[in-house]
């Protein structure tokens, strides 16, 4: 009788411990496998009858419980024994949803991958279970219910959201080294992380995921934590995050303003505070697709984003790491609204590099793409400051900068804009062309300069002669001013020498007077 009463009393359950799969550590491999191989290498092992008995699972169902003896003194769990969870095909259809929830709870356990010899059996069981979950979500033929959505987000959060502890990095941008040549840091937990990301991607993309219901769990907090992961040093993780965030943006329309605002804040922090972030290129790639879908006329919010975020992104020293994606975003704006060309070109001139020749070449590449989408009225507004800058590039001692500036004439649209406004432009750039033709050290730059000079001469000989005459007059005036300056300095030096001699004479006279008076 007493045993029966005791058996009915509730047993005190122990709290689940905090397992971390990643531990904030990274290991470095010698090569990078692209993130594009999703799905092809997920099922390296056959999914099926692997199952669990007694494992520590946060908020797990009674079938998957933790033994109290599985605790170490330091709080870590020992995964000593596992109860079997059957495969989905081995249970009736009516029981599969409950089994799905149990498997989700099982996969909330996170292992430590910093020690490759630890919990090998349990890690493999979890990997196979994750693969089964991916297959289940992919083949689901009924809407995911509220309870299931909650468990899905809980499992994803437990596995993905962690503190990213970066590798110690010296400020190599200042030293002039290319950060793209560094071997990226690979997360040792990727065997599990990859499958969790694949699961999340297929869950978001699934037609059985009701956005109105799921947005209660895929909320702003979830999206914020997802965006924080873009600073991961593992390029495979950033590739998955890029695809997933883009799908979330497309499916959850209510979250779109929040996603744009949060990305803006990441950019502001990067531009004006740290200049360090690993995911700027991926975020810009997402924005490029978003900008491409902007309706016309453009909202004022989007124009402000161009002026306050995209244009200042040209400022950081590590521009090379994301310039291709940034240039695409900028060009999209100009193609959608040609009136923005003047704003963009003046913005480029504001951040134009002075001592960084490789960055200057990137600016010239982007400038050509913007000018190609620029119409004559907008071109005329900014052509004077623009060609003053191009003239400086033409005279650059770095041959790649001078050569890239001269290549602008190879673009038919840009050449037509220059020809239409040659009366203003030729007087600005002719001095640079003449100086190059006389004494530029690089033969390719010298030849290109002669070709462009001939284009202007053949097009309008009178204008060319007029500008050349003005250049020669200005040059002779400069020589006269230079000679005057040199004569002025020479006279000042002579006067200074005379004053020094007069001071020495006065000192000697005073000494002689003093000696005679003392004698």
Which tens digit of pLDDT belongs to each residue from 441-472? 999 999 999 999 999 999 999 999 999 999 99
Q: Give the pLDDT of residue 507.
A: 65
Torsion sign across C-alpha atoms 231, 234, 235, 239: negative
Q: Where do we find the tokens 């495979």?
A: 236
Burial tier of 406 (Cβ tally within 10 Å: 0-12, 13-18, 19+): buried
Residue 312's CB is within 10 A of a number of other CB atoms, namely: 17
Coil vs helix vs strand at 1: coil
Q: Give the pLDDT of residue 512.
A: 62
Bigger pLDDT: 9 vs 299: 299
Structure pTM? Answer: 0.77
pLDDT in tens, 88-129: 888 888 888 899 999 999 888 888 888 877 878 888 889 899
In this prediction, residue 38 has a pLDDT band, given cuts at 50, 70 and 90, of very low
Average pLDDT on 266-276 reads 94
Q: Is 275 left (phi over 0), alpha (psi -120 to 50) or beta?
A: left
Does residue 246 carry a pLDDT above 50? yes
In this prediction, residue 286 has a pLDDT band, given cuts at 50, 70 and 90, of very high
In this prediction, residue 515 has a pLDDT band, given cuts at 50, 70 and 90, of low
Of 133, 119, 130, nearest in space to 81 by CA: 119
Query: Domain coordinates of the chain in residue numbers?
Result: 375-459
Beta carbons of 52 and 85 less than 8 angstroms apart: yes
Q: Where do we find the tokens 């390719």?
A: 444
Separation between Cα atoms, residue 196 and residue 295, nearest integer Å = 35
Coil vs helix vs strand at 270: helix
Cα angle 237, 272, 325 (rounded to 5 degrees) comes to: 45
| Token output for 476 | 């002779």
Contact residues for 313 (Cβ-Cβ < 8 A; gap 6+) = 267, 271, 280, 284, 319, 322, 326
| Token output for 489 | 């300095």
Mean pLDDT estimate for the chain: 82
Q: Give the pLDDT of residue 174.
A: 42
Beta carbons of 42 and 121 less than 8 angstroms apart: no
* Residue spans of alpha helices (H) in 337-356: 341-350
Beta carbons of 277 and 231 less than 8 angstroms apart: yes
Of 61, 73, 75, 166, nearest in space to 112 by CA: 75
Beta carbons of 286 and 249 less than 8 angstroms apart: yes
Does residue 44 carry a pLDDT above 50? no
Q: Give the pLDDT of residue 423.
A: 93
Separation between Cα atoms, residue 513 and residue 519, nearest integer Å = 10
Bigger pLDDT: 236 vs 123: 236
Does residue 479 carry a pLDDT above 80? yes
Buried b (16+ CB within 10 A) or exposed e, 151-174: bbbbbbbbbbebebeeeeeeeebe
Separation between Cα atoms, residue 478 and residue 484, nearest integer Å = 10
- The rounded percent of the chain whose pLDDT value lies above 70 is 76
Average pLDDT on 161-177 reads 60
Of 280, 263, 273, 349, nearest in space to 320 by CA: 280
Does residue 181 carry a pLDDT above 50? yes
Burial tier of 213 (Cβ tally within 10 Å: 0-12, 13-18, 19+): middle
Rg of the chain over Cα atoms, rounded to whole angstroms, equals: 35
**Residue 45 gets which letter from DSSP?**
S
Beta carbons of 298 and 342 less than 8 angstroms apart: no
Does residue 220 carry a pLDDT above 60? yes
Contact residues for 417 (Cβ-Cβ < 8 A; gap 6+) = 371, 374, 376, 379, 383
| Token output for 499 | 């004053």
Beta carbons of 106 and 64 less than 8 angstroms apart: yes
| Token output for 92 | 């009736």
Does residue 204 carry a pLDDT above 70? yes
In this prediction, residue 504 has a pLDDT band, given cuts at 50, 70 and 90, of low
Does residue 71 carry a pLDDT above 80? no
Average pLDDT on 208-227 reads 95
Average pLDDT on 6-24 reads 42
- The rounded percent of the chain whose pLDDT value lies above 90 is 62
Bigger pLDDT: 413 vs 120: 413
Q: Is 67 left (phi over 0), alpha (psi -120 to 50) or beta?
A: beta
In this prediction, residue 247 has a pLDDT band, given cuts at 50, 70 and 90, of very high
Distance of CA 427 to the CA centre of its chain: 40
Q: Give the pLDDT of residue 499.
A: 77
């Amino acid at each position: 009788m007493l045993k029966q009463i005791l058996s009915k009393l509730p047993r005190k359950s122990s709290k689940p411990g905090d397992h971390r799969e990643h531990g904030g550590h990274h290991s470095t491999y010698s090569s990078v496998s692209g993130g594009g191989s999703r799905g092809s290498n997920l099922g390296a092992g056959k999914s099926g009858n692997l199952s669990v008995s007694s494992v520590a699972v946060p908020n797990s169902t009674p079938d998957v419980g933790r033994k109290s003896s599985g605790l170490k003194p330091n709080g870590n769990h020992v995964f000593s024994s596992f109860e079997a969870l059957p495969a989905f095909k081995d249970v009736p259809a009516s029981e599969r949803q409950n089994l799905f929830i149990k498997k989700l709870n099982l996969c909330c356990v996170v292992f430590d991958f910093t020690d490759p010899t630890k919990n090998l059996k349990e890690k493999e069981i979890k990997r196979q279970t994750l693969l089964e979950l991916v297959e289940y979500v992919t083949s689901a033929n009924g809407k995911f219910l509220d309870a299931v959505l909650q468990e899905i987000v809980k499992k994803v959060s437990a596995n993905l959201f962690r503190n990213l502890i970066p590798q110690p990095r010296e400020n190599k941008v200042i030293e002039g080294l290319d950060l793209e040549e560094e071997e990226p840091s690979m997360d040792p937990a990727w065997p599990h992380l990859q499958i969790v990301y694949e699961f999340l991607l297929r869950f978001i993309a699934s037609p059985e995921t009701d956005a109105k219901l799921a947005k209660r769990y895929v909320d702003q907090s979830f999206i914020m934590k997802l965006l924080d992961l873009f600073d991961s040093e593992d390029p495979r993780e950033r590739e998955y995050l890029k695809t997933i965030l883009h799908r979330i943006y497309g499916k959850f329309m209510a979250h779109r303003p929040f996603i744009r605002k949060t990305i803006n804040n990441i950019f502001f922090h990067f531009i004006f505070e740290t200049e360090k972030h690993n995911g700027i290129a991926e975020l810009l790639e997402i924005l490029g697709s978003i900008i491409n879908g902007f309706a016309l006329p453009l909202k004022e919010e989007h124009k402000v984003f161009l002026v306050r975020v995209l244009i200042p992104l040209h400022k950081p020293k590590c521009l090379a790491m994301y310039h291709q994606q940034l240039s695409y975003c900028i060009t999209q704006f100009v193609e959608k609204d040609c009136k923005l060309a003047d704003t963009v070109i003046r913005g480029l001139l504001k951040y134009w590099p002075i001592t960084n020749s490789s960055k200057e070449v990137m600016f010239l590449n982007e400038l050509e793409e913007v000018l190609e989408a620029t119409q004559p009225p907008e071109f005329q507004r900014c052509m004077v400051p623009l060609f003053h800058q191009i003239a400086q590039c033409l005279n650059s001692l770095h041959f790649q900068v001078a050569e890239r500036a001269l290549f602008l004439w190879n673009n038919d649209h840009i050449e037509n804009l220059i020809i239409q406004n040659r009366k203003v432009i030729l007087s600005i750039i002719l001095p640079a062309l003449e100086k190059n033709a006389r004494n530029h050290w690089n033969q390719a730059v010298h030849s290109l300069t002669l070709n462009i000079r001939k284009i202007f001469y053949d097009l309008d000989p009178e204008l060319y002669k007029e500008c050349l005459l003005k250049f020669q007059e200005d040059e002779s005036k400069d020589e006269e001013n230079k000679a005057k300056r040199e004569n002025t300095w020479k006279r000042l030096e002579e006067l200074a020498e005379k004053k020094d001699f007069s001071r020495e004479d006065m000192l000697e006279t005073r000494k002689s007077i003093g000696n005679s008076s003392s004698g």
